[in-house]
């Protein structure tokens, strides 16, 4: 098999990942071999619990030959999980990431999916999100979070940032960086010259303050991008851009903060979207949901976002 393998990090030990992973494997056949990075003991336990009849093929990172892999069994790189120690899950997740990073640096593949991770527990305030954590490991300074759906995608200029801190990060440099990354990704990976709508920061792009960010920062920045031949427009009011008659005119909506664009796209498409990190030297995707501990064992969690993530990488 000539296609590059897809690395999948299982993520939080206590999550609905294995349920949706097994459902994804049942859903369709993927041409790219999948390499799971997880605890073998945990995997065996979940296979038995979910009554999923699939054999495990244990791999060795020092002798990893992706051309000999297929998806007839679960290709596993085992990472030990010690339950007795404090913060054991954090160490486990970090070790999983380190193995994936080593494989990517060895150029065995350029495809990575990470399962759901509790940002609050794992990051410990050092990074805003998993996106920033991964970017730091590869010294990637310019990154963007693209929540991708083939109909319309969204990208926040600021990510997991408290609202009171958002305004300080709204500047031409940050906006231009995000739009350049989006433009390059759509052209190179999807063969599309993307139609990009930029949202205003304030309600209706208006402000009672003397300094209106939409007039003073966003309008000049968008004019500059238009002069440089980017297919961009705005600033648009955030409360109407996602109406059907408006959103059909765009491929991507760029918002100023996290929930300004993630809330509407999740309302529109639920789990039919994937989180792609732009600006890395490889393709990293995260299914668009969290660990969801309350749903463990109920067998009702949707695998759609994970299926979409694997399918996307299967084609790239």
Question: How far lies 269's CA from each of 278, 295, 316, in Å?
Answer: 21, 20, 23
- Indicate the average pLDDT of the chain: 93
Residue 1 banded pLDDT, cuts 50, 70, 90: very low
| Best CA proximity match to 260, nearest among 152, 157, 148, 151 | 157
- Report how far Cα 100 is from the mean position of its chain's Cα atoms: 16
pLDDT (0 to 100) of residue 209: 87
Q: What angle do CA 238, 241, 243 make, to 5 degrees?
A: 125
Whether residue 269 is predicted with pLDDT greater than 50 in this model: the reply is yes
Q: Does 98 have pLDDT greater than 90?
A: yes
What separation, in Å, do the N-terminal and C-terminal C-alpha atoms of the chain show?
15
pTM confidence score: 0.93
Residue 244: per-residue pLDDT: 96
> Which of 13-27, 65-79, 108-122, 291-305 has the weakest average pLDDT?
291-305
Burial status of residue 227 (CB atoms within 10 A of its CB: 0-12, 13-18, 19 or more): exposed
Fold identical between 1-140+280-316 and 142-279? yes
Main-chain dihedrals φ then ψ at residue 272, nearest 5 degrees: -85, 55
CATH architecture label of 1-140+280-316: 3-Layer(aba) Sandwich (3.40)
Q: What is the CATH number assigned to the segment(s) 142-279?
A: 3.40.718.10
pLDDT band of residue 118 (cuts 50, 70, 90) is confident
What average pLDDT does range 162-176 have in this prediction? 96
Q: Which of 285, 250, 243 has its CA nearest to residue 154?
A: 250
Give yes or no for residue 87 having a pLDDT over 70: no
Listed by start position, the domains of the chain span 1-140+280-316, 142-279
pLDDT of residue 84: 53
pLDDT score at 295? 76
């Amino acid at each position: 098999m000539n296609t590059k393998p897809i690395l999948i990090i299982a993520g939080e030990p206590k999550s609905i990942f294995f349920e949706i992973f097994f459902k994804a494997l049942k859903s369709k056949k993927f041409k790219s071999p999948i390499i799971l990075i997880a605890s073998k003991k945990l995997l065996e336990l979940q296979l038995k619990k979910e009554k999923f009849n699939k054999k495990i093929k244990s791999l060795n990172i020092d002798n990893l030959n992706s051309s000999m892999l297929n998806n007839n069994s679960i290709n596993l790189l085992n990472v030990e999980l010690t339950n007795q120690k404090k913060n054991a899950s954090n160490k486990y997740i970090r070790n999983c990431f380190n193995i994936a990073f080593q494989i990517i640096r060895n150029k065995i593949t350029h495809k990575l999916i990470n399962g759901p991770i509790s940002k609050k527990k794992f990051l410990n305030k050092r990074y805003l999100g998993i996106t920033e954590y991964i970017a730091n490991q590869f010294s990637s300074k310019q990154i963007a979070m693209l929540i991708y759906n083939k109909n319309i995608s969204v990208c926040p200029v600021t990510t997991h940032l408290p609202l009171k801190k958002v305004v300080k990060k709204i500047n031409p440099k940050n906006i231009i960086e995000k739009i350049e990354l989006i433009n390059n990704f759509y052209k190179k990976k999807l063969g599309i010259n993307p139609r990009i709508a930029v949202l205003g920061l304030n309600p209706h792009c208006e402000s009672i303050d003397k300094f209106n960010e939409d007039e003073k920062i966003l309008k000049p920045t968008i004019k500059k991008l238009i002069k440089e031949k980017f297919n961009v427009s705005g600033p648009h009011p955030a409360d109407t851009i996602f109406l059907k008659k408006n959103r059909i005119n765009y491929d991507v909506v760029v918002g100023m903060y996290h929930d300004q664009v993630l809330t509407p796209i999740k309302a529109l498409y639920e789990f039919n979207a994937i989180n792609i990190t732009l600006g890395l030297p490889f393709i990293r995707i995260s299914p668009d949901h969290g660990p969801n501990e309350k749903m463990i064992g109920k067998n009702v969690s949707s695998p759609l976002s994970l299926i979409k993530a694997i399918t996307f990488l299967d084609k790239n």
